[in-house]
Amino acid sequence: TSTTCGISSDSGRRQTWLDQLWTGFSGLLWGNQDEVERQEARVVGGSEIPIAEAPFMVYVESEIINNKFNCSGVIISNQYILTAARCVRIIYTYGYNTTVILNATLVTVWVGSATNKGGTSIVADSWKTNTKFETVTNWEPIALIHLPTPLTFSESIQPICYPTTDDLHAVSGCSKNEYGWGATDWTGNVFSPKLKKLSDITIQTENTCRVTDDMRFFCVTANANNTGACFHGDFGGPFVVRYGGRAFVIGVFSGSVDLYCGSGGPAIYMRASNFADWVKSVVKP
């Protein structure tokens, strides 16, 4: 979607246990307590990061039937934000055949800050969802939010790269992260206003997480206890792989196998490459 995309300050270098030990030790020795707390912070879990490390991240707030819903999203062009469909509309099913779709009446995004409502707020002028996978039970497709005026890119505001194809087995060896402003505890009730990422994660195959045999999804498991993406606030957040020094949105967070956040159940991501043709048709150059 852009000739220059996926630029950030993150080198993608994976921190080893020796790095973590030294960071914690030096923090105690020289009083850098903030650094120690970042290492201990367990997205549920994860560590706080500056926006320059993920300048593609966007905080999303929508209003549906007078209720506010908070989500995460990413910039994919100077006027489009990618997020989960349920961030802009909700589907209710009653009985056997009655389905009601409730659409958002107002969508606001905040860009350029690691604080959820910091930076610049922008009221979207339109949004749309991909209807190709509407019949999938429980797991819904992606949405694109359109901004009325183009963004001005800077160190804190950058588009992420959008893949037209991928190989989940190949990218599993790359630097990969979950990002979001979601709840930070298993109950889904405690939130941090700061952007967080989780790096200690593993991609699973569809059969392994037993969600579906369909390649529309993939699952991600947090390797540490009490960590992982949370459906409270992390919906629409990206699964990001860095390759060749660029950040790619490989998946969009759409749900979790387990009810409780960070309980160890796999996080379910819509596979971004499956929507590439639709995204290109909407986000025209």
Q: How much is the pLDDT for 40?
A: 28
Q: How much is the pLDDT for 90?
A: 82
Q: How much is the pLDDT for 102?
A: 86
Q: How much is the pLDDT for 9?
A: 83
117-155 pLDDT tens trace: 999 999 999 999 987 655 444 456 899 999 999 999 999
List CB contacts of 125: < 8 A, sequence separation 6 or more.
146, 147, 148
Q: How much is the pLDDT for 115?
A: 95
Strand segments, DSSP code E, in 26-133 are 47-48, 57-64, 67-75, 80-84, 89-94, 98-103, 106-111, 120-123, 126-129
Q: How much is the pLDDT for 170?
A: 84
Whether 97 contacts 119, CB under 8 Å: no
Q: How much is the pLDDT for 42?
A: 28
Q: In angstroms, rounded to a whole number, what is the distance separating the alpha carbons of residues 189 and 108?
A: 22
Q: How much is the pLDDT for 202?
A: 86
177-210 pLDDT tens trace: 989 887 666 655 666 789 989 888 888 755 566 5
Specify the CATH number for 47-282; select among 2.40.10.10, 3.40.30.10, 3.40.50.12160, 2.60.120.560: 2.40.10.10
Q: How much is the pLDDT for 246?
A: 93
- Within its chain, how far is the Cα of 282 from the centroid? 20
| Positions in the chain whose pLDDT score sits under 70 | 1-3, 10-45, 132-140, 183-191, 205-215, 228, 231-233, 257-265, 285
Q: How much is the pLDDT for 266?
A: 82
Residue type for position 178: E
Q: How much is the pLDDT for 172?
A: 78
Q: How much is the pLDDT for 199?
A: 85
